[in-house]
Structure 1
Amino acid sequence: MTDKRAPDQDALIDRILHLWRADADTLPSEPRLAELTGASRNSVREALIRLEERGYVHRTQGARTSPNRRLPGVGRRIDQQFDHLLSIRSAGYDATLDLVSSERVALTPGIHRFDDLPDGTSVLRTVKMWRVDGQPYALAEDLVPVTREAEVDPHSPVFALAEAANGVRVAWETLWIEASGLDAERAALLSTAPATPVIEMTYCGYGADDAIGYWSREVQLPAPPGLRNALIRRVRA
């Protein structure tokens, strides 16, 4: 009797995505996917539900599962967790990260605060800049509450910094987006003129118990092809 123990869901999703790339018009039926992946039909069905939630496929009752063929060209998805270095490299560009500054500070009141952490909170504050083929692309200021003494590498993605510095494994991220003009300080870091139009994004990452893992504020210069911000959402008739 064939052993149908379900593989790890993420690994199963990766295998199904591989099959999608091999056949861009349709995906095999659930029974065929189960046969090809060695997973149970229930596991395959669960994986397809997750893929539909992420915008990879569209499922219609009684019809074949259709992949989202536009997805590979949409650029960086702001509806998913990401790391700039990986996003830049996956788009075919050379990626570099500059750690502009890293310090442990206690938060004080001020007009430039973008977080809702209590005054006096001890945080690791990092400022990072990413370059695309040597040219400035994005600048981020991260505020990571420090509640435990642990060795942290400030170069790490903010998700990893939060887990190391305060033990929060981020489950959700709230994102606010607005058009803005660069202030003089950030313009100098990005080697451009003050008031240059940019997209400014403010993030709050928090765990399943609502504990704050980090606050982050980021600005981006106009992105090259392949790195434009994109949002994929499901539309139901």
Structure 2
Amino acid sequence: MTSENPTRPAVRRLRADRARQVADVLRHQVLGDVYRGGQLPHEEQLAEEFGASRNTVREALDLLRAEGLVRRVPGSGTLVVAEKLPHGLTRLQGLAETLHEHGEVTNEVRAFGPVRAPGPVARRLGLPEGGDVLYVERLRRLGGLPLSLDLTYLAPDLGERLDPADLVDRDVFRLIEDAAGQPLGAADITLEAVNADAHSATVLEVPRGAALLMLERLTTLADGRPVDLEYVRFRGDRITMQGRLLRDLS
């Protein structure tokens, strides 16, 4: 006979597993508006809130300290010392448009000119094999600090209307729209983690092999024509991707 109120078996978890789970929730609070730029509650309060031991909370805070998000200050507790900037994934915007509330985005144009389009690039942009595209490489800074390294392939008829001087203080999206005489329509994106190669590490001022967020984005005009293929490497310690997804089962 089965009991009407069976005893639920206890879930056994290693303290390290539990610490990681606590750290995941705290990380969201640290990067959000709960503790940003402030101080975390004492360990006793966190232990009570999470239903965890103080040792588990300490391990969770150690994980956040290793990420450079918080630091322990004797006599003051655990303080938030770094923040990641929110980059939305729900609207098609340039970096300066996305982060305008957080400071001025400046661009260092490191390369600008026509190159022969690699086969995969030509096909993604709907161009003839062996044709040229405009290649642009930019180092993007926010508040003077390196934020991203952008490698861009542009359709040649639009690229020939661009001036590298315009890219210093303007998003390429605005320039494309001006050159095309119509707005951008949509973009297909892929986001993945990559390790910083020697070149990226030097430019972004991170250790070689450091984790970067790489955004691949193929952008089309309102009429559906693909015109811009970008590979954007973000410093993983300075940016966080945010969005809202809707479930559509139709």
* Fold match (TM-score > 0.5): yes
Is contact 1:198–1:221 with CA below 8 Å preserved after alignment?
yes
In structure 1, stretches of 5+ residues that fail to align are 1-72
Give the counterpart letter for 2:208 in structure 1: P
The superposition leaves residues 113-167 of structure 1 with CA deviations (integer Å, 9 ceiling, x where unpaired) of 6972443232221111122232211111111111265354344422234335556
Partner of 1:157: 171
Partner of 1:83: 94
**2:157 aligned counterpart, secondary structure:** coil
Asked whether 1:134 is paired with 2:144, we answer yes
**1:193 aligned counterpart, secondary structure:** coil
Is contact 1:85–1:95 with CA below 8 Å preserved after alignment?
yes
**1:228 aligned counterpart, secondary structure:** strand
Distance in structure 2 (CA, Å) of the matches to 1:116 and 1:195: 29
**1:75 aligned counterpart, secondary structure:** strand
Distance in structure 2 (CA, Å) of the matches to 1:181 and 1:165: 35
Distance in structure 2 (CA, Å) of the matches to 1:115 and 1:138: 26
Q: State the Cα distance separating 1:232 from its structure 2 match.
A: 1.6
Distance in structure 1 (CA, Å) of the matches to 2:209 and 2:112: 25
Asked whether 1:145 is paired with 2:168, we answer no
Partner of 1:210: 224
Give the counterpart letter for 2:96 in structure 1: L
The partner residue of 1:228 within 200, 217, 240 is: 240
Q: State the Cα distance separating 1:210 from its structure 2 match.
A: 2.7
Partner of 2:114: 104
Distance in structure 1 (CA, Å) of the matches to 2:162 and 2:87: 31
Return closer, same or farther for 1:197/1:107 CA change in 2, 3 Å cut-off.
same
Give the TM-score taking structure 2 as reference length: 0.54
Asked whether 1:116 is paired with 2:129, we answer no
Distance in structure 2 (CA, Å) of the matches to 1:216 and 1:194: 22
Distance in structure 2 (CA, Å) of the matches to 1:74 and 1:108: 33
Distance in structure 1 (CA, Å) of the matches to 2:86 and 2:220: 25
Return closer, same or farther for 1:143/1:150 CA change in 2, 3 Å cut-off.
same
Is contact 1:200–1:219 with CA below 8 Å preserved after alignment?
yes
Partner of 1:196: 210
Distance in structure 2 (CA, Å) of the matches to 1:80 and 1:214: 16
The partner residue of 1:177 within 191, 215, 221 is: 191
Q: How large is the Cα RMSD of the aligned pairs? A: 3.0
Distance in structure 1 (CA, Å) of the matches to 2:218 and 2:188: 5
Q: State the Cα distance separating 1:74 from its structure 2 match.
A: 8.7
**1:233 aligned counterpart, secondary structure:** coil
Give the counterpart letter for 2:205 in structure 1: S
Give 1:56-71 correspondences, 5 Å limit. none
Distance in structure 1 (CA, Å) of the matches to 2:85 and 2:114: 37
Report the number of matched residues: 160
In structure 2, stretches of 5+ residues that fail to align are 1-83
**1:205 aligned counterpart, secondary structure:** strand
Return closer, same or farther for 1:102/1:157 CA change in 2, 3 Å cut-off.
same
**1:163 aligned counterpart, secondary structure:** helix
Distance in structure 1 (CA, Å) of the matches to 2:232 and 2:223: 25
Give the TM-score taking structure 1 as reference length: 0.57
* Off by >6 Å, runs of 4+ in structure 1: none
